Structure 1
Amino acid sequence: MLSLNDVFLTYSNGNTSVQALAGVNLKIEKGKSYAIIGPSGCGKTSLIFLMAGLIAPTQGEVFLHEMKVVKPHRGTALILQEYGLLPWKTVWENAALGLKLRKVPEQEIADILGQVFEELELTECIDRYPNQLSGGQKQRVALARALSLQPEILLMDEPLSALDALTRENLQEVILRLIKKHRITSVLVTHSIEEAVYLGQEIIILSARPGKISAIVANTEQGTEGYRHKMSFYAKCTEVRGLLEVHCQSDDRLLQKQ
């Protein structure tokens, strides 16, 4: 569905040139869920932005349905860490923004959002403003805006990182239920090993900057009932943690030599 072919990304930081990603080759299959994890500054967000068509690679190519990605695609939805809600608009208006930009008729917007709001338990918040919402409710509104677009692929850049542990686990359940129900291909960037294991059928481990794919871990039990409480869940977390430690340590030694 989505592929990155020998992708490099370099950007300027003042007078300095920074290589964010180097030689990334990745294939995202339709209907599967992926989690990307790695040390801070390894290019995880840059990778998501490349997939979304918001930035272009310095070298290499990104394809969606065998078409080169040169701009954002209508079938792609992106959820950011900071929610991206407009403070002067109500919950309903924020959730409807993408549909309005696509000039969807008002009645169709009402039909789509009515169903999405019910799924996300947001009906009682329709007329509130973002400053009247909890962090979990704000993230549900961001989810509602993304899901209202009926995306083929959902890209998420650390959407739950600012939430407390219980709210975070609750929203992980919500995301898992929705991507399974609507059969949405999803790619999640996270710093949390447990979150990566809970939500990713495949866990993509990036090295320290410049980010390269160090390992891809198959997670065949992801999505099974009660997975969070199984010994296999903790074993998979341990496996991912071990791979992260190995690759981060080797990269740190390389940097020290340089």
Structure 2
Amino acid sequence: MYSLQVVLFSLFLVGLVLFSLRYAWWRFPVDYRRPRILMYHMVREPVSGARFNKLRVMPSRFERQIRWLYAHGWYFAFMSELTCPECLPRKTVCITFDDGYRDNFTHVHPILERYRARATLYLVADRFGRDWSTNKKAHHNTEELKREPKLTDDQIRQMLGSGHWQLGGHTMTHANLSRLDTKEKRQEIFQAKCLLEKNFRTSLRSFAYPFGIYGKSDVGIVAEAGFETAVTTRNGISRDILHERLELRRIKISGKDNMLAFHLKMRGGHG
């Protein structure tokens, strides 16, 4: 009997350690005056055996997340509003979507309307027929992302016209900037901004570095292009929005996150 109790207690301790490592519940909450920037890609059902299911958040789970934010008094801000952090209320959240997948219109858009939420879309200008995962690692050549339907221009116009979306830059081709020379980098960043602004008659004020890969020279090009803010894939909550405005951290929302993980990420930036 005693040995069984020891085994059960040991299993409990192991479980507690694993739980603590996974959810970091013991960390103090980050000051709620510091805006949270959430990073999403797709909102759709997972694909059996797919490599990138972490990028796919189920629609029902996404709606629970937005409903929770709405019910707990979070202010949904566009990325452009971060240029004046002192103007923002406590508990500000910026929802961001990268790339431009069609489910952002079919699944995300109705949910944003339902809860009067807003989001920033970082759109790849030349997004059709591309599997940009190979731009990061050659062995990712599964064409999985290439097969994902992308947003049409008409869908984007409807989204922007609703007042629930703002458009941001994400280069022409979802380029890995570290592989390009200065001329090619400028072309990817400047050309995409010019094309999208002309096509959708809107100003692009924020930028997302593809794959979160960038160097100091890229930050300079982004600033020169006229972007006021830029986001990375570094996980967490930025301490000083104005000082870090072209290298802002985001909280990665995974398709594997349950609501406990989401709550803890909103609390401390990790979960």
Q: TM-score range by the shorter chain?
A: 0.3 to 0.5
Q: TM-score, normalised by structure 2?
A: 0.36
Q: TM-score, normalised by structure 1?
A: 0.38
Q: Larger Rg: 1 or 2?
A: 2
| Structure with greater strand share of residues | 1
